[in-house]
A and B are shown apart, each in its own frame.
Chain A
Amino acid sequence: MGYTIAEKILGQHANGQPAKAGDIVVAAVDFAMMHDARAGNALQMIEKLKTGNANIQLPYVKQTALVLDHYSPPPTIEAANTHVAMRAFADHHGAHLYDVGDGICHQVLPEGGHLTSGDLVVGTDTHSTTYGAFNAFGTGVEGTDVAAVMMTGRLWFRVPETIRIELNGPLQAGVWAKDVTLHMLGRLGAEGANYQALEYCGSGVSAMAIDDRMTLANHAAELGAKAALLESDDKTVAWLKAHGAATPRPVFADSDASYSQRIVIDSAALAPQVARQHRVDDVVSVTEVVGQKIQVALIGTCTNGRLDDIRQAAAILKGQRLARGVRMIVTPASRAIYLAAMKEGLFEILTAAGASVEAAGCGTCVNITGHYISGDDQVVISTANRNFKGRLGNPQSQIWLGSAATVAASALTGIITDARTVAGGNWRAAA
């Protein structure tokens, strides 16, 4: 009987043998991350550990990173003090530290070479599924869990069932992984994969560049997935090598592995998708909502703040001006992306078009830093992963979700627009 990627990775990290969905294992964790929004709780748990037993040591702390990305820059004294505590902790114990402006946790971990194919990685964030783009089992946990990893290098896991999703055929130009994940949300519903892992496979995935694969794994969090695993191929291995990661140990599913569900998507025929206000799973094809007015356009977050997203936006806005009355903000997912985009001249294009570029971080995702508020009845089109009412600070405004292509094309025209109908909208990432 065969095994899924999740069963293999978790099992290998527990006793060297594949586990079975439903098993509880105590597995060795390769890397753990905590970010500033949850660090308060995590540091408290570490204190609690020590108070109960003075002999407690944290030998695995060097396999962890502390990331200052949510409150970046810190909008309150409390947040600034959390940052002070995190820096002090990292210095004292020798944990990796990513400071304000370095970027979003899910971007800086892979870029920093902290994970490789076959790894087991946890983070204090639901979008830790992103690491699955590199064939690593990445999953979200809480402060107690990170404390336990720092102390023991291990954690308990319930081995999840897996839904296998096959993408049949490369996406058309102007269609992105974001459109695939939105389509999946429309199909399964938010939390439709609660407790489960996803395995994305097929020619549609192989054709994707790494940036797009990261979107695929990242956005699985809105489906409630515990992990989202892609296969490791030449592109994965080359990317990991370029970023100084450990030698990949690719893990493949067996052909006779058992899945809770198998889904095949005709990805070659997929049109751009849009999630309408307040619900990530109220998804329609862009063609159904073309013409809807928008006033704010946001490109960024751990879902779509990567170089290819910014390149795509620049391809559409090159030599153009945003529609009158539209405000656009671009927030790169990391300092490395920021630098690369700057070198390529993309910020010049975007700034000339009327967009603002902000420092790397969670920025445009949620109203933490307090400067993405929109007015009553304004419509925001964003590349973020969530559009819950009030997420950007005003419950009277609306957030719609789409790819960077859809957002840039809509910013250009002032109405929701199918990027395939504007110049530059069919720009393609070099895969």
Chain B
Amino acid sequence: MRVLLPVATGALRPRGGRMSLNIELIRGSARILGDEVSTDIHCSSKYLPGKDTAYIALHAFEQIAPGFANAFQTGDIIVAGANFGINSSREQAIHVMQKMGVAAIVAPSFGRQFFRNAINNGLPVIECDVDGIASGDAVSVDLTMGCVKVAARQIKRQTTPLPPAILSLLSAGGLIPYLQQYPKWQ
């Protein structure tokens, strides 16, 4: 039978091997973006035909946040408003953000396909209220516990943690490397 329910069985838990991501705890500086950002428009090749990932990574989000890509450091965390990645279908947007060195994205909600693409490509995304978090804040994200903290501001927010199935995909570095390790989804 072609069936499996990983949440119930825990079958998708990582079993050692290469871990390209420490999913226990991600720490980084907050970089702020607003509500309803369509990453297709500002961060993929969809509306920038002929431009490669490296070029877009240098100019990502320029029109909505001037200087954003320039100031971005590897390991920073994007803290965005509601519906981040709305209307965005392209995986390239994720590849661009990985090229920029985005460690994780925290937002109250995500566009459906963007959320899926992020997980599939090993970019941690967490749904959380971002009220009060400012640019440059030291943010820590515990994906396993579903906890987002900014110690300096006494912000500690508990959200629904990502299920083990998703954590396994993320810790493998995305769906493709996951299936290379576990060709039968387990």
Contacts and interface: CB of A to CB of B under 8 A. Distances in A.
Judge: A and B partners, yes or no.
yes
Interface of A: 13-17, 19, 23-28, 41, 45, 48-49, 52-53, 55-56, 126, 140-145, 147-148, 151-154, 156, 191, 194-195, 224, 226
B90 A142 contact: yes
Interface string B1-31: 1111111100010000000000000000000
B112 A154 contact: no
B174 interface: yes
A373 B123 CA distance: 38
B4 A15 contact: yes
B73 interface: no
A49 B89 CA distance: 21
A142 B112 CA distance: 12
B92 interface: yes
Contact of B175 (A13, A25, A53, A145): A145
Contacts of A23: 7
A15 to B, nearest CB: 4
Contact of A147 (B5, B116, B176): B176
A160 B92 CA distance: 25
Contact of B176 (A26, A28, A49): A49
Contacts of B5: 14-15, 17, 19, 25-26
Contact of B91 (A140, A143, A151, A191): A143
A194 B88 CA distance: 12
A140 B88 CA distance: 12
Interface stretch (B59-67, B137-145, B151-159, B162-170): B162-170
B3 A14 contact: yes
Contact of B179 (A19, A141, A152, A195): A152
B171 interface: no
Given A142-B90, A148-B176, A195-B109, 14 more contacts: A15-B3, A26-B4, A49-B176, A52-B176, A55-B183, A140-B113, A142-B89, A145-B120, A147-B176, A156-B6, A156-B175, A194-B109, A194-B111, A194-B112
A25 B121 CA distance: 18
Nearest to B185: A26
13 contacts: A14-B3, A14-B4, A14-B5, A16-B1, A52-B176, A56-B183, A144-B174, A145-B120, A147-B176, A148-B179, A156-B166, A191-B86, A191-B111
Contacts of B177: 52
Given A53-B183, A143-B91, A151-B183, A13 B3 contact: yes
Contact of B7 (A25, A141, A143, A151): A25
B2 A154 contact: yes
B95 to A, nearest CB: 10
Nearest to B160: A22
A64 to B, nearest CB: 15
A83 B85 CA distance: 29
Interface of B: 1-8, 12, 83, 86-87, 89-92, 109, 111-113, 116-117, 120-121, 163, 165-166, 169, 174-177, 179-180, 183-185
Contact of B184 (A15, A55, A152, A191): A152
Nearest to B120: A144
Given A126-B89, A152-B179, A154-B185, A15 B109 contact: no
Nearest to B1: A16
Given A24-B163, A142-B89, A153 B2 contact: yes
Sort A-B residue pairs by CB-CB distance and give the 4 closest, nearest first.
A28-B2, A15-B5, A52-B180, A53-B180
B1 to A, nearest CB: 8
A144 B163 contact: no
A16 B91 CA distance: 31
A152 B2 CA distance: 9
Given A24-B6, A26-B165, A154-B185, A41 B92 contact: yes
Contacts of A126: 89, 113
A141 B5 CA distance: 20
A179 to B, nearest CB: 23
Nearest to B5: A15
Contacts of A142: 89-91, 113, 116-117, 120
A13 B4 CA distance: 9
A27 B7 CA distance: 12
A22 to B, nearest CB: 8
B3 A48 contact: no
A379 B163 CA distance: 49
